[in-house]
Chains A and B, each alone.
Chain A
Amino acid sequence: MNTIDVQLLESISRNVREHILRMSTNGGAFTGASLSCADILVYLYKHFLNVSPSSLYDEARDILLLSKGHDVPALYGVFAELGYIDKERLSNHLSTSDSIYWHPNRAIPGVEFHSGSLGHLLSVGIGMAIDARLRKLPTRVVVVVGDGELNEGSIWEACLTAAAHQVDNLIVVVDRNEFQANMRTEELIPLEPLAEKFKAFGWFVHDADGHNFEDLHQAFNALNLGKGRPNVLIAKTQRGKGVPSIADRADRWFCDFSLREVVELIDELNGRTTAELTSETLVVR
């Protein structure tokens, strides 16, 4: 197992979180969900996925699909930090002059498939993974799903099909922040015992602390790829991670902050003062 530079990864993650906060104004964004999967995406693009800005059209590249598409500010933040897109382009968020909005669009370099409606990209990922297998390519397909998204029946339908067809170059990552849009998952539609559910569907199940790079590194290196079953990694995360005044809160899912609040939240991200928030909470979409 190769070593990782945790300090470098943490520094990239901090920048990604700043991008997320900067996109959470003048129309807003799904801030909480974006912050919860930021570390996972940074780890995957830096250390796991065999893809780079120069290999976006390489047939053998690895593929990441963001099935919980509303956390796309995290993905675009990673793309900006790793050179897939210019950082300046993020300021086009919600401008009709670009394709950067609340859900992923394939017009943005690095986006492999659009999403928005939940429960779609696991089946799309199965198709891509089988395609790669038939072409005898080393491609691995990673599908990031939200835990709330696991309410969708299409996820479990696809889980059955993936196991039946032994799609063993497919990895699902569950961003287990324990929230769905407005409520804690266990208060609305309980998912636990989640690992046992996937095991019962015939999947290899792994877990990790989704904010600990050493732990993520261990877990991704321990995947049972090519062993006849699909893999799922349940990553324990926190909604709003890194910004204490909005972390782990049901009412900070979609956020449209004032510019002053964004500046204060970035201060908070940097470990300085606590932000004073007066903007409207829980704008349900």
Chain B
Amino acid sequence: MNPYEELLLRHCTMSNDVMVLTAENRGHMRTVPPMLGERFIDVGIAEQTMIGMAAGMAVRGRTVVTHALAAFITMRAYEFIRDDVGIPNASVLMVGMVPGILSDGNGPTHQAIEDVAIMRGIPNVGVFCPTDIDEFVEGMDYLITDGKPCYVRYIGLPPVFKHTEPFIPGLAEVIHSTSDHQVDVTILTYGFMARIAVTLVPLLEAKDLRVRVVNMRTLKPVDEQRIITEARNTNLLVTLEDHLQTGGLFSIVGEVLLHNHIQDHAPVMPIALPTWFRPGRLQEVLAYEGLNAVALAARIETFLTTISMKVSVHE
């Protein structure tokens, strides 16, 4: 049993009101279903039905954890989530499998790269994008107990860095900082790309750049204060995400800076997907899309050169 299965079993054992539903997606839970007995329901390949059922159970006092591929739970069932989970603020968690770049070889139909944008657009519904299995399980533990509706980008990979903060919705964590003060580059990121960001740090530091990396964890609620602080204490703010540029972290940062009337912020460099990415093996996809550490280091250095040239022209 993996740590997520252990968590589901623990919550179903602790409370009679927790239900686990899946739209025939069991890749991450092959062992636990029989142990959950009638508290586990596989509805078949029927994402809308699953969300409707979950909402019906939720208004009768249950907390329901639902599962399907990220592209299908967010888009096939979108109106059901909006109407039946969002409007009544129903205690339903929507766990999306192989989100973002993790759908690697599936092709564009399976690429959930607008999921953050559309899910954060539903009132009452939160968005959580963990970076590894530990963070996912810690966050799910909080969210199942909390009972508020939330979309979660699933990730089952082991940790590649040490978490510095407990999971609280709306609290980001600094996972690397060359200096406690002003730095040259601050990378705001989430989910799988945070793992890439930590491998990018030594490449930037080797160029004598001071670097800070922030794992945003939840995109809704988002840590506004962290965004504002970082935007004021760096020479370049990078938003790094495996998501379309529209509606994701880059948009969120723009909204936060505008809404809070922040004038004195660093230039913001968006690193996001312009469109559906080239399907293939994950490492090759990252290289092709310019999203591995080497490519990212080069993109950031080029951007820094461009803005410093602009500055010198103005001088």
Contact = CB atoms under 8 A, between A and B. Distances in A.
Interface of A: 106, 112-114, 116-117, 120-132, 134, 154, 157-158, 160-161, 164-165
Given A114-B88, A117-B79, A157 B55 contact: no
B57 A131 contact: yes
A127 B38 contact: no
Given A120-B84, A134-B38, A161 B49 contact: yes
Contact of A126 (B52, B79, B84, B88): B52
13 contacts: A112-B59, A113-B88, A116-B83, A120-B84, A123-B53, A124-B53, A126-B56, A127-B52, A127-B60, A130-B57, A131-B57, A132-B60, A158-B48
Contacts of A120: 52, 80, 83-84
Contact of B49 (A116, A126, A132, A134): A126
Given A106-B88, A123-B51, A123-B52, A157 B46 contact: yes
A165 B46 CA distance: 13
Contact of A117 (B41, B49, B57, B83): B83
Interface of B: 38-39, 41, 43-44, 46, 48-60, 62, 64, 79-80, 83-84, 87-88
Contacts of A164: 44
A102 to B, nearest CB: 15
A231 B17 CA distance: 27
Contact of A124 (B38, B41, B55): B55
A127 B54 contact: yes
A160 B53 CA distance: 13
B49 A123 contact: yes
Contacts, number: 82
A240 to B, nearest CB: 28
A112 B90 CA distance: 13
Contacts of B48: 123, 154, 157-158
B57 A128 contact: yes
Given A154-B49, A157-B49, A158-B49, A127 B56 contact: yes
Nearest to B83: A117
A52 to B, nearest CB: 19
Contacts of B56: 113, 123-129, 131
A143 to B, nearest CB: 10
Contacts of B46: 157-158, 160-161
A127 B53 contact: yes
A127 B80 contact: no
A126 B53 contact: yes
Given A114-B87, A134-B38, A164-B44, A123 B80 contact: yes
Nearest to A137: B60
A120 B87 CA distance: 13
Contacts of A165: 41, 43
A151 B59 CA distance: 27
A127 B57 contact: yes
A206 to B, nearest CB: 23
Given A127-B52, A128-B56, A161-B53, 9 more contacts: A112-B59, A124-B84, A127-B53, A127-B55, A131-B56, A154-B49, A157-B49, A158-B52, A161-B44
Contacts of B43: 161, 165
Given A114-B87, A114-B88, A122 B57 contact: no
Contacts of B83: 114, 116-117, 120
A148 B239 CA distance: 47
Contacts of A126: 49, 52-53, 56
A161 B53 CA distance: 10
Nearest to B21: A127
